[in-house]
Every structure is written in C-alpha cells, then in structure tokens.
C-alpha cells in the first residue's frame, strides 16, 4: 500500500509539471537485478518454464512502463548511473519497480538469502560478517 501511495504521489508531481519537461532518473540496473532475484526464487520453486516465458517478455514490459511514465508526465528518464548532477530530479526507480510488481524489501531479502546460500562455505566472503 505504501508503494502505491508513493507511486501516486510521484505521478501527481509529474502531472502537475506537464507544461514543462521534467527530468527524472531510474536505476534500471537495480530494477533488472530485482527481477532476476525473483526469477531465481521462482526457478528454485520449480517454475522454470514459466520463468523462461516471463523473462522473454520482461524487456517489453519494462519499455512499456518507461514509455508510459515518460509520455504521461512529459518526463525525460535518464539512467541513474549515468546522471551526474541536477536540481529537483525525481527518482522513478520505486515507481517502475511497483509497476512491474517488484518489491524493494523483498529484493533485499532475496539478495541476502542468496548471498547467505552462496557464501555459506566461504564465511569470509559474506558481506554481513562481523
């Protein structure tokens, strides 16, 4: 529910500025990483075929979300990793993740779980070590 309120607030901000072009950023790599973690979880649960089908369609879905946000709010969306400086620049990463049904908290939990699993035999490589 919080993500929905935040998405709505961001879109209201963008719509209010329709007369001028708005510059926004998005961490596209973080969005793709979040989606990959969800796919790994689903593959482990035995949904391999469906994950492959979904992965083939992901790029199109992402492009549709970006195009709609750009058009609806008269927004130029720049990749956050390529953005150097600016004033009043909105970060749309959470909005995009919400549109793709991705949760930042779930992503963090999945990443930690995967790291713990991968590095269980190599405790010195784990990021959360004391």
What pLDDT score was predicted for residue 19? 67
Distance of alpha carbon 76 from alpha carbon 87, whole angstroms: 14
Q: Determine the length of the chain.
A: 130
Residue 130 burial (C-beta neighbours within 10 Å; 0-12, 13-18, 19+): exposed
CA distance 23 to 25: 7
Q: Give the pLDDT score at 12.
A: 57
- What pLDDT was estimated at residue 55? 93
Reading the chain (130 residues) residue by residue, the pLDDT tens digits are 555 555 555 555 555 555 688 899 999 999 999 999 999 999 989 999 999 999 999 999 999 999 999 999 899 999 999 888 888 899 999 999 999 999 988 988 988 888 888 776 666 655 555 5
What pLDDT was estimated at residue 27?
95
Query: Strand runs (DSSP E) across the chain, as ranges?
Result: 22-26, 75-79, 90-91
Confidence at residue 84, expressed as pLDDT on a 0 to 100 scale: 87
Interior angle at CA 88, CA 85 and CA 93, nearest 5: 80
């Amino acid at each position: 529910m919080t993500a929905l309120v935040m998405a709505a607030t961001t879109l209201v901000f963008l719509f209010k500025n329709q007369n001028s072009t708005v510059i926004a950023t998005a961490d596209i790599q973080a969005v793709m990483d979040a989606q990959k973690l969800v796919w790994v979880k689903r593959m482990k649960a035995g949904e391999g075929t469906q994950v492959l089908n979904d992965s083939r369609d992901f790029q199109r879905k992402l492009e549709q979300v970006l195009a709609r946000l750009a058009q609806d709010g008269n927004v130029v969306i720049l990749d956050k990793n390529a953005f150097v400086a600016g004033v009043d620049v909105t970060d749309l990463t959470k909005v995009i993740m919400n549109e793709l049904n991705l949760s930042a908290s779930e992503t963090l939990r999945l990443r930690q779980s995967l790291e713990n699993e991968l590095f269980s035999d190599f405790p010195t490589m784990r990021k959360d070590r004391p």
